[in-house]
Amino acid sequence: MNELASDLVLSVEDLRTHFETEGGTVRSVDGVSFTVRRGETLAVVGESGSGKSVTSLSVMGLIPTPPGRIVGGRVLFRGKQGDVVELTAMDDRAMRSIRGNDISMVFQEPMTSLNPVFTVGDQIAEAIRLHRGKTRAESKALAADMLDRVGIADPGKRVEEFPHQLSGGMRQRAMIAMALSCSPTVLIADEPTTALDVTIQAQILDLMRTLQRESAERMSIVFITHDLGVVADMADRVVVMYGGRIVEEGTAVDIFKSPRHPYTIGLLNSIPRSVRQDRDADADPGVIVDYRLEAIPGNVPNPMNLPPGCAFEPRCGHAVAQCGQAVPALTEIAGGHHSRCIRWAAL
Amino acid sequence: MNADAGAQAPSAAPLVEVRRLAKYFPVRGGLLRRTVGHVKAVDDISFALAPGEVVGLVGESGSGKTTVGRTMLRLTEPTRGEVRFGGADITNLARPELRDYRRRMQIIFQDPYASLDPRMRVQDTIGEALEIHGLAEGGAMHDRIAELLRRVGLEPEHMRRYPHEFSGGQRQRIGIARALAVDPEFVVADEPVSALDVSIQAQVMNLLRDLQDDLDLTMLFIAHDLSVVEYVSNRVIVMYLGRIMETAPAAELYRNPRHPYTEALLSAAPVPDPTVRRERIILEGDIPSPINPPSGCVFRTRCRYATADCASVVPELRPVGPDHAKACIRDDIL
């Protein structure tokens, strides 16, 4: 029985996605659960190998099989008609009718996700024709409308252009236009601004916020990123991943203001904070800032060879003997704030 | 006032200096591959680094920041202008005379995967530089490599391994050890942490800060990330489309930006604090092509303060405070 609380649009339940390689099984995603409410932005944060991208590809049914395979868990989704479906049980054909229609995705590098031999307009129009049953001419007109909505100047001309004729920022806008052309319930954005300059990133983040606010369907966004600045900017709630598992989950304020997992704390301490306001006005402005970053020691774990207990234990300053023995449970600390650390109360 | 004087380092005689530096790359097109235009990567910039000073060079893509660093090391030949090191003009030095300068100036690259030869053991990568400059051999070389590896936070045993056996952060440490092997006075660090995971970035930034302090290195730290630059620099230079927009002591630049581009850049950088809601300046449009930069001020096409005059005059870098200069004709803003 597929049940989903009425305010939820997506529920990932104990998802396990593994990859078979010559060196053994890589447990890229190993028991991940989270939900997405209608209209909210959930950020999934992690470094390389954390499993954040494999999680989103699993939800979209885009795991290359072989070598990858969803070996456990399920993903429930509420479609536009309000019907709840199990994405992980669908065949390719059923999934194709959902992808790009009910759930859309925006990737880091738009050049690799746009087809170089078709015009931008054709690619957006194709999605509209496929999912919304419009004619060729109607689709083309709607494509131009979408380009206009994402802030591309002269959309009538741009629909006839090929991806290489657009700048990086404009390509990402076109990608977002395509993703939103069928008014999806959920938009999954995987590092959508990582390849962009900071002034262009600000434009794209602003655009995503505006489109979300304006969407009649109260679109939800799952924002996958490694950039904590972007998370603070965009997210209502945050999931922090490490070694294929969620290590902390909470509201953006929980995560940034009272983090309760040593990895989250370490990540926050790793980013230089601006001290422009705190500096003594009389001090020599050319002196290097006097605080020191508390870097997390060691390396990001190899997903092929995770420690038996807490994946963060080898790098953790709070670790005790017990941490290396079993994977700690994700424990609720306060309403909606969870930590996968047995010592959370001592942090 | 002329452009030469714009962004001088304060007090002490500079160790490294560029004067009216320009680098144009030809753009070829058509059947005969004729030169049909130029990418004006760097256009008429002057600045200097005092001994032991860390200058952060910030800019977005196409700003020319990487070209500046490469030109200072003479890895790229300038189209115009002068590169000076230790008071001497090294712009036109030929290979043999350049050799000693090559030892005194080193570079740390962005991508620790692309910058190490995958077929060379760590000891050969580091030893190569020592050998070329005749600095050590045999047992002394072995000891020197071991010491360098310890210095960058690796183990002497690592010298027998190949690059693929290391993580990204460890490879960047090897790249740093290689640069420091020859006891340079000046180091260009070109986006040294931007390819690394967040938790590893802090390790490498701390390492660079410690090494700079211990060895009294003069450093040009090139990055697009303003907060990274703020953490390591004494002074910051902001570039846009091949030109310097503003320069100031680090704390002054971040606290009191005087150029509209610096203001927008600082405002665009997301702050890791969800309770901070700032009025954000969103710059319109894209960065123009450096092949055909706007006339007058190169930033004017995206500047919310631009006036008609901005299109006709190339603004000179002029002082607006102690060690603080901006290339903007307007005094009534910021």
Q: Give tens-digit pLDDT for A139-165.
A: 989 999 889 988 888 898 999 999 999
Neighbour count for residue A72 (Cβ, 10 Å): 15
User: B216: how many CB neighbours lie within 10 A of its CB?
Assistant: 10
Mean pLDDT calculated for residue range B116-128? 93
Does B245 touch chain A if contact means CB atoms closer than 8 Å? no
The average pLDDT across B108-114 equals 85
Predicted local confidence at residue B2, as pLDDT: 40
Helix, strand, coil fractions of chain A, as percent rounded to 5: 35, 25, 40
Kindly tell me if the per-residue pLDDT of B6 is higher than 60: no
The reply to whether B255 touches chain A by the CB within 8 Å rule is yes
User: Which chain B residue shows the shortest CA-CA distance from A231?
Assistant: B272
Nearest to B234 among A273, A288, A297 (CB): A288
Kindly tell me the burial class for residue A154, based on how many C-beta atoms sit within 10 Å of its own C-beta (0-12, 13-18, 19 or more): exposed
Question: What residues of chain A score a pLDDT lower than 50?
Answer: none
How confident is the model at residue B161, as a pLDDT? 96
Q: How far is A277 from chain B (nearest CA, A)?
A: 7
A263, closest residue in chain B (CA to CA): B199
CB B287 within 8 A of CB B60: yes
When CB atoms are compared, the residue of B206, B264, B269 closest to A293 is: B206
Judge whether B276 is closer than 8 Å to chain A, CB to CB: yes
Q: What is the mean pLDDT of residues B104-109?
A: 95
pLDDT confidence of residue B93: 92
Question: In this structure, how many other beta carbons lie within 10 angstroms of the beta carbon of residue B33?
Answer: 9
**Distance (Å, whole) CA A84 – CA A86:** 7
B11 touches chain A (CB under 8 A): no
Instruction: State how far residue A85 is from chain B, nearest Cα, in angstroms.
Output: 34
Assign residue A51 a region: left if phi > 0, alpha if psi is -120 to 50, beta otherwise?
left
The amino acid at A335: G
Interface mutation vs chain A, best among B231, B234, B304, most A CBs within 10 Å: B231
Average pLDDT over residues B306-334: 95
Nearest chain A CA: its distance from B125 CA (Å): 22
Q: What is the pTM for the complete model shown?
A: 0.92
Output the pLDDT for position A280.
65
In Å, what is the CA distance from A316 to each residue of A242, A250, A340, B314? 13, 21, 13, 54
Residue B90: predicted pLDDT: 95
Mark out the alpha helices in A155-289 (DSSP H runs): 155-158, 168-180, 198-214, 228-234, 252-257, 262-270
Q: From the list A197, A271, A293, which residue is nearest B287 (CB)?
A: A197
Q: What is the pLDDT of residue B1?
A: 38
Judge whether residue B159 has pLDDT over 80: yes
> Is pLDDT of B91 > 80?
yes
* Chain A CB contacts of B248 below 8 Å: 285
Across the A/B interface, how many CB contacts are shorter than 8 Å?
A: 160
- A267/chain B closest Cα distance in angstroms: 6
Which of A172-186, B132-146, B301-315 ranks highest by mean pLDDT?
A: B301-315
- Nearest chain B residue to A153 by CA distance is B285
Distance from CA of B268 to the nearest CA of A (A): 6
pLDDT at A1: 59
Cβ-defined contact of B234 to A287 (cutoff 8 Å): yes
Q: What is the mean predicted confidence (pLDDT) over B25-34? A: 87
Q: Which of B199, B249, B286 is the closest to A286 by Cβ?
A: B249
